[in-house]
């Protein structure tokens, strides 16, 4: 047992330091992440005998992956919002939203849950936190609370995010049928999808009292997302599961919200406009033009529209950066990547709103300055993730769980998925890291392979809520510096509560022979 325990503890030291630095020492995320990377370097070289050149090239691969596509897409998303503020379009959007409902609780569901899940399904890479959090702040919702509800919402759709990439990657890694795997994943996550909007309202209003008078709305929002997600995952696969659920949830929740619009809204939840605005169709289209373009462009360049997708696919470069493995490659997609497409849509939409070119580039410059500390955070987190992966630290964590727990392993299977996403900030990376570990454990224990492999994706949902990368994106989106530790402590009860319920669900499923 000691041969597994010692590497396990040492492999966790960078993660432990990251949590201590953020929550205990209340350091800013960029400093904590860079310190954790240094801890990871020391441990990797001292215990796993990683050479300096391998450490340097592993970190470099992490840095480049952080910059393209992750930092790029975050800058593009925040820039789009900032430009809408600069042109005044955000006030028009705010007026339109409050014409549907002046209730912050209902608007939070429409923006953070329905629209946020659509953004996750189409783009991923933090857009589902950055853009909705910015819009909620524009509705005078406290910035910390705005990020918190977006983090809660963002966990559920991650497995089918970015047009299903995490799930299709997992199916490829394990050799399992993608339709069957998608269906099991959707079934496993369904209870949490229904629960999420309820928890979001409670987080916004400070407890169960916030549900008074509107409880049917979050329940409807959860059900109308989850049920089509299950159906589409079963019949079509992973690519459209989030998109279908988000669109139906948005339409139905919108209709229900209008029916509630005549009810008196408690003062603490009421959005008050600074001035009344009459918005015509043309004004509405112009104000929403960046987001309409994002919707159309992401849809048309996805795998759904095969000719465009295949035309743009060759515009990429694949390189080997990590010196320790010539087969380890990193691919840079130059055009058909969410960051590039959202940036173009933001610029075009801004021009439609009347922004001058010098105004547009000034906003872009200020956005990059606003994001500077977040960029450092991304570099530290992704550099650490690559070092932990290539050194064998991640493998040692997995080996301990599998070797030490035996028949109890299914109880912690989702925890591996959560850990992978916490470290890397990516559901896809977690599937790559631990997908085959779950498959091997299922085969050795005689458990349903689909059920246990899908549990990795289930755990990803909890890990995504708590991932420092995701928290940093939210803080950057609302220009909230130095609050990463506070947000981590606030989201932790939700993430760990979800993870405990997920562990119970998976373990009970193996007992009853799912």
Listing DSSP states for 312-348 in one string gives HTT-EEEEE--TT-TT-EEEEESSSSHHHHHHHHHHH
DSSP per-residue letters across 338-392: HHHHHHHHHHHHHHHTT--HHHHHHHHHHHHHHTHHHHHHHHHHHHHHHHHHHHT
Residue 479 gets the label, from left (phi > 0), alpha (psi -120 to 50) or beta, of left
pLDDT for 276: 59
Per-residue pLDDT, averaged over 157-180, amounts to 86
pLDDT for 85: 87
Q: Record the tokens describing residue 513, joined without a space.
A: 């022979």
- List, in order, residues 6 or more apart from 216 with CB less than 8 Å away: 256
Which of 70, 87, 145 minimizes the C-alpha distance to 112? 145
Binning pLDDT at 50, 70 and 90, where does residue 275 land? low
Which of 397, 471, 474 minimizes the C-alpha distance to 433? 397
| Interatomic CA distance for residues 135 and 104, integer angstroms | 12
pTM of the entire predicted model: 0.83
| Interatomic CA distance for residues 125 and 131, integer angstroms | 12
Per-residue pLDDT, averaged over 253-281, amounts to 80
pLDDT for 100: 80
DSSP H/E element including 416: helix 409-424
Running DSSP on this structure, what letter comes out for residue 44? H
pLDDT for 159: 92
Task: Count other Cβ atoms within 10 Å, centred on residue 46.
Answer: 10
Query: How high is the mean pLDDT of the chain?
Result: 89
pLDDT for 373: 84
Which of 123, 120, 112 minimizes the C-alpha distance to 147? 112
Residue 182 clears pLDDT 90, i.e. is over it:
yes
- List, in order, residues 6 or more apart from 140 with CB less than 8 Å away: 271, 272
pLDDT tens, 276-316?
Answer: 567 788 988 999 898 889 878 877 887 778 899 899 999 99
pLDDT for 189: 97
pLDDT tens, 117-143?
Answer: 988 887 777 778 988 998 898 888 999
Residue 99 clears pLDDT 80, i.e. is over it:
no
Binning pLDDT at 50, 70 and 90, where does residue 248 land? very high
pLDDT for 239: 79
Per-residue pLDDT, averaged over 38-58, amounts to 97
Per-residue pLDDT, averaged over 256-280, amounts to 79
pLDDT for 420: 86
pLDDT for 432: 76
Exposed e or buried b per residue across 136-150, where buried means at least 16 C-beta atoms within 10 angstroms of its C-beta: bbbbebebbbbbbbb
Residue 222 clears pLDDT 90, i.e. is over it:
yes
Residue 273 clears pLDDT 70, i.e. is over it:
no
Residue 241 clears pLDDT 80, i.e. is over it:
yes
pLDDT for 277: 63
pLDDT for 505: 97
CA distances from 212 to 140, 200, 249, 265, 460 (A): 21, 14, 21, 11, 31
Per-residue pLDDT, averaged over 31-57, amounts to 95
Binning pLDDT at 50, 70 and 90, where does residue 332 land? very high
Lowest mean pLDDT among 189-198, 237-246, 443-452: 237-246
DSSP per-residue letters across 221-278: HHHHHHHHHHHHHHHT-STTHHHHHHHHHHHHHHHHHHHTTTSPPPGGGB---SS---
Domain locations along the chain: 2-511
Q: Record the tokens describing residue 364, joined without a space.
A: 């872009």
DSSP per-residue letters across 481-505: TT-HHHHHHHHHHHHHHHHHHHHHH
Binning pLDDT at 50, 70 and 90, where does residue 322 land? very high
Owner of token pair 């320790």: 324
pLDDT tens, 371-401?
Answer: 888 889 889 888 988 898 899 998 888 888 8
| Interatomic CA distance for residues 400 and 6, integer angstroms | 9
pLDDT tens, 16-27?
Answer: 998 898 888 888
Which of 191, 162, 193, 190 minimizes the C-alpha distance to 70? 162
More confident residue, 300 or 221: 221
pLDDT for 56: 97
């Amino acid at each position: 047992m000691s041969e597994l325990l010692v590497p396990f503890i040492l492999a966790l030291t960078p993660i432990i330091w990251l949590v201590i630095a953020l929550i205990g020492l209340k350091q800013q995320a960029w400093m904590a992440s860079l310190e954790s990377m240094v801890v990871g370097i020391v441990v990797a070289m001292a215990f796993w005998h990683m050479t300096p050149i391998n450490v340097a090239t592993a970190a470099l691969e992490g840095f480049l992956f952080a910059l393209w596509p992750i930092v790029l897409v975050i800058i593009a998303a925040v820039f789009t919002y900032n430009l809408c503020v600069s042109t005044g379009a955000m006030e028009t959007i705010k007026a339109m939203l409050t014409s549907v409902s002046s209730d912050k609780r209902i608007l939070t569901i429409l923006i953070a849950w329905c629209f946020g899940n659509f953004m996750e399904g189409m783009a991923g890479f933090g857009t589902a936190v950055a853009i909705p959090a910015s819009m909620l702040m524009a509705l005078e919702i406290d910035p910390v609370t705005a990020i918190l509800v977006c983090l809660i919402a963002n966990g559920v759709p991650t497995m089918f995010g970015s047009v299903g990439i995490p799930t299709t990657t997992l199916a490829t890694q394990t050799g399992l049928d993608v339709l069957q795997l998608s269906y099991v994943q959707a079934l496993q996550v369904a209870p949490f999808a229904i629960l999420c909007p309820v928890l979001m309202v409670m987080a916004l209003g400070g407890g169960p009292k916030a549900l008074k008078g509107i409880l049917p709305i979050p329940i409807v929002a959860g059900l109308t997302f989850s049920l089509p997600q299950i159906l589409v995952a079963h019949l079509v696969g992973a690519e459209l599961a989030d998109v279908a659920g988000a669109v139906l949830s948005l339409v139905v929740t919108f209709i229900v919200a209008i029916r509630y619009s005549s009810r008196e809204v408690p003062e603490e939840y009421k959005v008050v406009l600074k001035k009344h605005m009459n918005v015509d169709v043309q004004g509405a289209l112009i104000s929403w033009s960046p987001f309409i373009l994002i919707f159309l462009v992401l849809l048309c360049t996805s795998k759904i529209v095969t000719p465009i997708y295949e035309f743009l696919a060759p515009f990429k470069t694949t390189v080997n950066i990590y010196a320790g493995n010539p087969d380890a490659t990193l691919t840079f997609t130059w055009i058909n990547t969410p960051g590039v497409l959202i940036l173009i849509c933001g610029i075009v939409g801004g021009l439609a709103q009347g922004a001058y070119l010098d105004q547009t580039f000034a906003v872009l410059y200020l956005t990059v300055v606003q994001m500077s500390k977040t960029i450092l955070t991304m570099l530290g987190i992704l550099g650490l993730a690559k070092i932990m992966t290539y050194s064998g630290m991640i493998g040692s964590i997995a080996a301990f769980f599998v070797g030490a727990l035996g028949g109890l392993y299914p109880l912690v299977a989702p925890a591996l998925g959560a850990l992978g996403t916490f470290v890397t900030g990516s559901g896809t990376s977690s599937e790559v890291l631990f997908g085959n570990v779950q498959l091997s454990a299922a085969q050795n224990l005689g458990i349903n392979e689909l059920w246990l492999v899908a549990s990795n994706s289930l755990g990803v949902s909890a890990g995504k809520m708590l991932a420092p990368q995701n928290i940093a994106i939210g803080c950057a989106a609302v220009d909230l510096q130095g609050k990463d530790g506070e947000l981590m402590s606030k989201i932790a009860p939700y993430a760990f509560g979800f993870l405990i319920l997920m562990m119970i669900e998976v373990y009970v499923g193996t007992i009853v022979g799912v």
